[in-house]
Structure 1
Amino acid sequence: MKTYFFLYLLISTSLQAGNFKSPDSIVSILFCGDVTLANHFENHVGNNTVYPFEKIPWFDDADLTMINLENPLTSRGSAVDKKFTFRALPVYAKMLATSGIDIVTLGNNHIYDFGSQGLFDTIDYLRKENIYYVGAGRNNSEARHPVIFFRKGLKIAFLGFYGTHKHSDSYPAQIDSAGTALRQLNLIEQDIRKIRNDVDLIIVNFHWGTEKATKPGDDQIAFAHNVIDFGADMIIGHHPHVLQGIEKYKNKIIAYSLGNFIFGGNSRPEYTTALLKTKISKNSLNAEVIPLKVTYWQPEKLEGNAGKAVVDSVKKLSQSFKKSIF
């Protein structure tokens, strides 16, 4: 929400802000899944930038809202050599901003679909609309940078990562070249420890896992636990395109996959999904699953028994963990 003061910064920037409130103040953050504003989405929506979000005006009631933006915003560049490539109209950056989205993760396998030119344009259009980003950048330093918001007396940091050297489509950023921030354990540990003493909450986004898998792999679970042990408070996962369980580990939250939110790469016009609503204070961290139905790439809250069924499905998927949010 742009009515608050927030700061986009590298670690070396000093942390200072006014408008601090009681330590008991509650900060609400909404986390949504994969968003691709291309292909079938563009064919249906065109330039109607009001339509996609008009049934979820409560985005603007949250203190922060985050999505996984899984396409470049550009009309330039050439597609890289891969099976599926996406790009979206630059005007959609304004649509995201007016809908109430504050921050996106670009650390995914489609942000580089139109090369460095597509990524550069995306960054420029997001900045123009005061939307902040993590997980990719013009170089490795920018890709790994945290974004820190001040909300109601809390300093909340976001990081994003995608891919390893084994991923052929991860296009990792280098010292002097654009790309994504590698999901490499020792680097993530460094990035978390750099800011741990300066912030109240650290939220880490991962693009990982297997498409269509309803459960995370054992390697993901171990990886997530390590990252929590390093000092992260919450992990938000993307990529499988389906919902997965939500673990509570050492009283921290791990949402392994939030599925699709608005995914224009899929020709299926109707589906159910969910978002994660978190409520945070200096002394507590709570989350709930908000069920959604999406009709022709327009999400809205799913009420009644149908909504309960979505929540129950995530609850069931969470039963394999020693502890969950349910």
Structure 2
Amino acid sequence: MKFIFCGDFVSQDPKSIQVDLRLQNLFKDADYVAVNFEAPVRGVGKPICKSGPSLTQSEDSPAFIENLGVNIIMLANNHMMDQDQEGCEASIKAFKGETRIIGAGCFDDAYRLHVIEKDGVKVGLLCFVHKEFGALGLDATSLDYGTAWINHPMVNKTILNAKKVCDVLVVLPHAGVEDMVVPLPEWRARYREFVDMGADAVIASHPHTPQGWEEYKGKMIYYSLGNFFFQLFSSQHGANWYKGLVVEMNIDENKNLSFDVHNTKFSKFSLEHDESMECKKYNDYLCELLSNEGKYWDYLNRDLKALWPEYKLYLLRGLAAIAPTTNIHVLSHAAYGLLKGPDIPMMLNNFQCESHRWAIERMLRMQ
């Protein structure tokens, strides 16, 4: 059995995307292809109250990725509920045939283990997201609708029970700090905990940049696949925004796993399979950062220090308190505070989302 796992997908005009033949053949050769569908289809629902942008994508996106061979859709992400329940439901209905939807819906559906069986091998899939807006938290009931929160108290028990009914268990987190090429230590610990509880592989997304991977107790952890194709806000990010990883997982007749990593890159209207030497060297560099404790901590602390001015703005905007400055970016936050007062959703997200809270805690210790 062959699985392909891809990162984040958002497109406003999927019919214009040219996908190169090597990537098409890679997908065609797989039994199952999974993609994180990062935003609901447009035209349905109303934006929820949240911090950050409310995203939508083309109503043609589901058909496009299904035609590409995708048959597993991961919805536990931080934008799937941007158009509330109506938008998420419309997106789910837009997928046809036997495409599997994981990580979102009513409470039981969002947290449900999805089992795929072929030739006597049972593969379980669980999809979770850090606690941004739309994630189902402690106050959720069985009737509530949203995405599966990665740190809900029932998650550990779900993983332990899942391993009892599966030969292979894959956990698919959507978490981390955007644009950081190393994961936070807290996420490294959490993903290793998943392995301790029975996961055979952990394959994550969300940071919009590839991160490295490592073997832990004989199991593989991929910390971020980056973007598969993301047609929005690319001007705000660096070159890594256009890079992605595709993880190929093969299961043999003895239920043994083997993995391969393929690089992808995209531009405005193209999606390509990229096996250049430059990509391979960069992959090696990312993995070296994880394997060398000194390099890892140096890089992590340098990144957090560089991010502190931005996070400080988020905190101050939440309080509508900005110090005098001539910086245009800072002034835009100050203007928001003067016109609208404290940005409560932004402040809430700094505390409720583990990735932001953990990053801020580390930044404050460095001051």
Q: Percent identity?
A: 26
> Is residue 103–residue 147 contact of structure 2 (8 Å, CA) maintained in 1?
yes
Q: Which residue of 2 aligns with 1:290?
A: 262
Q: Which residue of 1 aligns with 2:101?
A: 133
Q: Secondary structure at the match of 2:204?
A: strand
Alignment of 1:14-29 (within 5 A): 27-29=1-3
Counterpart among 141, 150, 155 of residue 117 in structure 2: 150
Q: Tell me by how many angstroms 1:243 deviates.
A: 1.0
> Comparing 89-98 with 299-308, which one deviates more in the overlay?
299-308
Q: Tell me by how many angstroms 1:156 deviates.
A: 0.7
Give the number of equivalent residue pairs: 284
Distance, in Å, in 2 between the alignment partners of 1:171 and 1:189 is 15
Q: Which residue of 2 aligns with 1:96?
A: 65
What is the letter of the counterpart of residue 222 of structure 1? Answer: A
Counterpart among 90, 105, 117 of residue 86 in structure 2: 117
Q: Tell me by how many angstroms 1:181 deviates.
A: 0.9
Distance, in Å, in 2 between the alignment partners of 1:156 and 1:117 is 30
Structure 2 spans left out of the alignment, 5+ residues: 294-367
The answer to which structure, 1 or 2, has the higher relative contact order (CA under 8 A, 6+ apart) is: 1
Q: Tell me by how many angstroms 1:189 deviates.
A: 1.8
> Is residue 292–residue 307 contact of structure 1 (8 Å, CA) maintained in 2?
no
Q: Secondary structure at the match of 2:135?
A: coil
Q: Deviations over 1:162-221 (max 9, x none)?
A: 133xx4553556311210111126312221222322211111111111111111111111
Q: Which residue of 2 aligns with 1:306?
A: 278
Distance, in Å, in 1 between the alignment partners of 2:230 and 2:171 is 22
Q: Which residue of 2 aligns with 1:251?
A: 218
> Is residue 188–residue 227 contact of structure 1 (8 Å, CA) maintained in 2?
no
Counterpart among 60, 69, 77 of residue 45 in structure 2: 77
Distance, in Å, in 1 between the alignment partners of 2:22 and 2:269 is 11
Q: Tell me by how many angstroms 1:74 deviates.
A: 4.1
Structure 1 spans left out of the alignment, 5+ residues: 1-26, 322-326
Distance, in Å, in 1 between the alignment partners of 2:197 and 2:221 is 14
> Comparing 168-177 with 213-222, which one deviates more in the overlay?
168-177
Q: Does 2:195 match 1:228?
A: yes
Q: Secondary structure at the match of 2:190?
A: helix
What is the letter of the counterpart of residue 30 of structure 1? Answer: I
* Structure with greater Cα Rg: 2
> Is residue 35–residue 263 contact of structure 1 (8 Å, CA) maintained in 2?
yes
Higher-helix-fraction structure: 2
Q: Which residue of 2 aligns with 1:218?
A: 185
Q: Secondary structure at the match of 1:192?
A: helix
Distance, in Å, in 2 between the alignment partners of 1:122 and 1:142 is 15
Q: Tell me by how many angstroms 1:223 deviates.
A: 1.0
Counterpart among 18, 32, 36 of residue 6 in structure 2: 32
